[in-house]
Structure 1
Amino acid sequence: MHCTYLQAINQCDADLLHFWHKFIKAPEGSLRKFEVQKQLADAMAHRTHIDSSIKLVGKLLFGIENGPEVLKTVRPTGQPLVDDWDRLKSLVRTFETHCGSISQYGMKHMRSIICNAGIKQEQMAEASALACASFPSSSWSSLHRGFSA
């Protein structure tokens, strides 16, 4: 018997929940179960890659000690989320060129703080290239999904 209950989930986690439900429903030992397990593992690996890449980019841009704190910065109420939307789009595309698709999940990390801190595209390109020595080629790659911004 399955217990059914409703619980709010973060929109960024909806894809994981989708894969998890497909995995649970797939017949044990089936090719379908194996394929869905791989999709779930790829999604989790993508998230791990994005988490570590953005943390390293933050450290490279803002310093080892300051980077993690700067990336957690939230603007005060009443201030616009982003100073320059075109710059944010450019920085996201630059990151994705070197590190793969940031996806909806990764957008929460950007939080536009890198853009609002005045980071230039050249700085982002250099930090992203250093942070992402290898380009991911899973289905979550920007090669397959295109750019997020």
Structure 2
Amino acid sequence: IFEGLLPEGLNIYATTASNAEESSWGTYCPGEDLSPPSEYETCLGDLYSVSWMEDSDKHNLQTESLHQQYELVKKRTAGSGLGSGSHVMEFGDVGLSKEKLVLYMGTNPANENYTFVDENSLKMPSRFTNQRDADLVHFWDKYRKAPEGSARKLEAQKQVLEAMSHRLHVDNSVMLIWKILFGMSEGPAVLNRVRPSGKPLVDDWDCLKTLVRAFERHCGSLSQYGIKHMRSIANICNAGIQVEQMEEAAIQACPTIPTGPWSSLHRRFSA
């Protein structure tokens, strides 16, 4: 979100849960070693945001700096490095990270005698959930706990199947559009292209908004899951494709819009 867009000199310091190429991860999810109470049936937070909030709860914010917290949160959010976890990033005026947390968050008198130690005292979960799968975790936990043959179990099963069907439709539609626009061999390469560090996601943000809406008019909502394809749509803009070409490709790829709730545009366009 800040890549290539937040230069130094604006007196702004920002951190993000992940780098420009990956998703963040949920934690305190059903089935994990640190699960929420059984009645919640959902992930309670994002590993990144949970980490800085828990760190703030434990430490003396009058002595801990933004940079010290950043390093602890970065280490915890990276996970085991075995395919789970993400890379916390910082942008803008990094020099501001020398300042103490108390300037921005206040302090907790109960922690004022805490002596900061440069190590991670936060418990590391043994397993995380990709944020893009958090809705499936919710529906699957409902299904798993519902009594056999009950209306609740049937409804949860329906929700799981609808969500999976929508994901398949979005992925297949995006891939087909790319092949129509760029050909069988070039499509996947354009789809996954990552711009050099320091360059923004897209050169023309109005183009990105226009192409997203062209897709959704003919193929249905991207939904939260489909946001993962936003880079691919940005790559279409960067390749110089016009909205008329996108409209025609979307019409060919999506003769009809699925009737499921996930494809509905009742929540308006995604961009």
Normalised to the residue count of structure 2, the TM-score between the two structures is: 0.52
How far residue 143 of structure 1 moved from its aligned partner, in angstroms, is: 3.6
- Aligned 1:58-137 pairs, distance under 5 A: 58-111=178-231, 112-137=234-259
Query: What residue is the counterpart of 1:52 in the other structure?
Result: 172
- Whether the 8 Å CA contact 1:46–1:140 is kept in 2: the answer is yes
Correspondence 1:40 to 2:165 = no
Give, in angstroms, the shift of residue 63 of structure 1.
1.0
Unaligned 5+ segments in structure 2 are 1-29, 34-124
Distance 1:126 1:3, change over 3 A: closer
CA positional deviation for 1:44? 0.2
- Structure (1 or 2) with the greater helix fraction: 1
- Indicate which of 149, 157, 177 corresponds to 1:29: 149
Q: Distance in 1 between matches of 2:134 and 2:31?
A: 19
Greater C-alpha radius of gyration: 2
> Which residue does 2:260 correspond to in 1?
138
SS of 1:65's partner is helix
Q: Kindly, what percent of the aligned residue pairs are identical?
A: 61
Deviates more, 1:120-129 or 1:78-87: 78-87
- How many positions carry a matched residue from both structures? 148
Cα contact 1:71–1:110 (8 A) shared by 2: no
Change (3 A) 1:4 1:143: closer
2:104 match: none
Q: State the AA in 2 paired with 1:126.
A: E
Between stretches 32-41 and 101-110, larger displacement belongs to 101-110
Contact persistence 2:167–2:226 (CA under 8 A):
yes
1:9-49, CA deviations, whole angstroms, 9 ceiling, x for partnerless residues? 22111111111111112111101110111011000000000
Letter in 1 for 2:161: A
Instruction: Name the structure, 1 or 2, with higher relative contact order (CA <8 Å, separation 6+).
Output: 1
Q: Which has the higher strand share?
A: 2
User: What secondary structure sits across from 1:64 in the alignment?
Assistant: helix
Distance 1:104 1:118 in 2: 26
Which 4+ runs in 1 deviate beyond 6 A? none
Match of 2:270 in 1: 148
CA shift in 2, pair 1:59/1:4, >3 Å: closer
**Cα distance, 1:4 vs. partner?**
4.1
Q: Give the superposition deviation at 1:3.
A: 6.2
Structure 2 SS opposite 1:27: coil
The Cα RMSD (Å) is 1.6
Note the C-alpha offset of 1:65.
Answer: 1.0
Structure 1-normalised TM-score? Answer: 0.92
